[in-house]
Amino acid sequence: MKKDLLYSEAAAAYPFGSRVVSIEPYGGGHINDTFLVVCTDGEEYVLQHINSYVFKHPDEIMENIMGITKFIADKLNANGEDSTRGTLTVVQTTDGADFYVDTTGEFWRVTLNISNTTAYDFADSENMLMKSGAAFGSFQSMLADYPAETLHETIPHFHDTPDRYRQLEEAIRNNAAGRLEEVTAEIEFAKARKADCAILMDLLAKGELPLKVTHNDTKMSNVLIDNTTGDAVCVIDLDTVMPGLTAFDYGDSIRAGATTAAEDEVDLTKVHFSLDLFKAYTEGFLSAAGGALTETEIRTLPVGAKLMTLEVGMRFLADYLNGDVYFKTKYPQHNLDRARNQFHLVEEMEQQWADMMAVVESYL
C-alpha cells in the first residue's frame, strides 16, 4: 500500500478524520515521517509514522511519552500555565488508544500542533541558545522527581561511552572496510582518552550521580521557539526519552551548540569551541535546572560536554571503519571528516577546561 494511502488510513482513525482538508509533509526530521494535518475548522495536528527500524518497540516509546507528558502537563496546569503549549499533547484514536497500528503493522501517533512556533536547525544568536538551554533545563527540572527507572530504554546503551569505546575497538579489530591505515592518528586520539570514557558511568555506579529522565537528543531543532516573543515554548521529539544522566543532555547540547561550524566542516581552522556560546547555554540551562541538580551533577556538566563530543566522534570513526553502515554519508570520507571535526572540538575543550569549570562552578 502506498504511503499516501497509509497516512490517510491513519488520519481516519482519529476523531478529526472526517474533517481533514490537507495532509502535507512537515518538519525536517530524519527518522520519522511527519505530516501536518489541517482540518475544516482550522485545527492542526501533527501525524507521525514511527520508524520501527530505528525504534524496535514503538509501544514502549509511547508509554514513555504518555507518562512524562502527563507529568509535565499536570505541573503546568497546577501553575496556571497552558499545558497544550508547554508540552506535547497526544491525541487518542477513536478507539481510545494512544497510537494507531495500520494494516501493514506500522505505528502512527498524533499530537496537537503548537501553532505560531518554529524549530530552528541552529541558534542564530547567543540569546537563542540561552533560551534553548532554559527549555532543556526546565525539562530537567519538571521531571526531576519522575521515577526515571520506570522508563523503557528505547535505544539500549545509547550514551554508554565505555560501550561506545568498545564498539570502536571492535571496528578496529574487524577493519571491515580496509580503512585502518588511514586513521592511525584518530585511533591514537581516542585511545589516549579511554580512561575518560568511564568517568560518568563510574559515578553513576557508585551512586554519586542520580539517574534522571533524559531527552538524549538535545539539539536546537528540538525546541519550539515562539514566533512572536522569541521565547522557547516546548521541547519536542521525545522518542529517545529514557533513564540517563543530566550531563548527557547538557553535554550533547554543548557539542552541537557551542561550536563555530557544522559537524562535518572539513576546514578545521573554522571549527572552534566557543566559550561565549558555552556560557550562554549554561546560563539558560542552570537558571532553569540548577535547583534540581546536585553539586556533583553541576560540577560534571563540562565532563558531559567533552564525553558526548568524544563519543560522537568515536561513533563516526567506528562507522567509517565499518564501511559507513549507520550514518548517512554524502562522499567516501564523510564520516572520517566528522570524526576529525569532533575530536578537534574535544581538544579545544581540553585547552579551555579551567574556564569551562569556572563557568559552571559560579552557579554553585
Q: Which domain CATH number covers 229?
A: 3.90.1200.10
What is the 8-class DSSP label of residue 103? T
Over its C-alpha atoms, the chain yields an Rg (Å, rounded) of 21
Q: Are residues 288 and 355 in the same domain?
A: yes
Residue 226 belongs to a domain? yes
Residue 119 belongs to a domain? no
All residues at 6 or more sequence positions from 115 whose CB lies less than 8 Å from its CB, including other chains: 44
Burial class (CB in 10 A: 0-12, 13-18, 19+), 110: buried
Q: Are residues 157 and 192 in the same domain?
A: yes
1 has a pLDDT exceeding 50? no
Is the pTM higher than 0.85? The answer reads yes
Q: Worst-scoring range by mean pLDDT, 28-37, 59-68, 152-161, 300-309? A: 28-37
Q: How many CB atoms lie within 10 A of CB 140?
A: 26
Residue 118 belongs to a domain? no
Q: Are residues 164 and 91 in the same domain?
A: no
Phi, psi (degrees; rounded to nearest 5) at 107: -100, 140
Number of domains in the chain: 2
Q: DSSP E strands: which ranges in the chain?
A: 20-25, 33-39, 44-49, 100-101, 107-112, 117-119, 212-214, 223-226, 232-235, 242-244
Q: Are residues 131 and 107 in the same domain?
A: no
CATH of the domain at 19: 3.30.200.20
Q: Are residues 170 and 241 in the same domain?
A: yes
Q: What is the pLDDT of residues 147-200, one digit of tens each?
A: 999 999 988 889 999 999 999 999 999 999 999 999 999 999 999 999 999 999
Residue 242 belongs to a domain? yes
3 has a pLDDT exceeding 70? no
Q: Are residues 162 and 218 in the same domain?
A: yes
215 has a pLDDT exceeding 70? yes
Q: Are residues 132 and 214 in the same domain?
A: yes
Q: Are residues 226 and 160 in the same domain?
A: yes
Over residues 214-221, mean pLDDT: 94
Could you tell me the residue range of the domain that residue 213 belongs to? 126-361
Q: Are residues 94 and 200 in the same domain?
A: no
Q: Are residues 18 and 140 in the same domain?
A: no
Over residues 288-305, mean pLDDT: 97
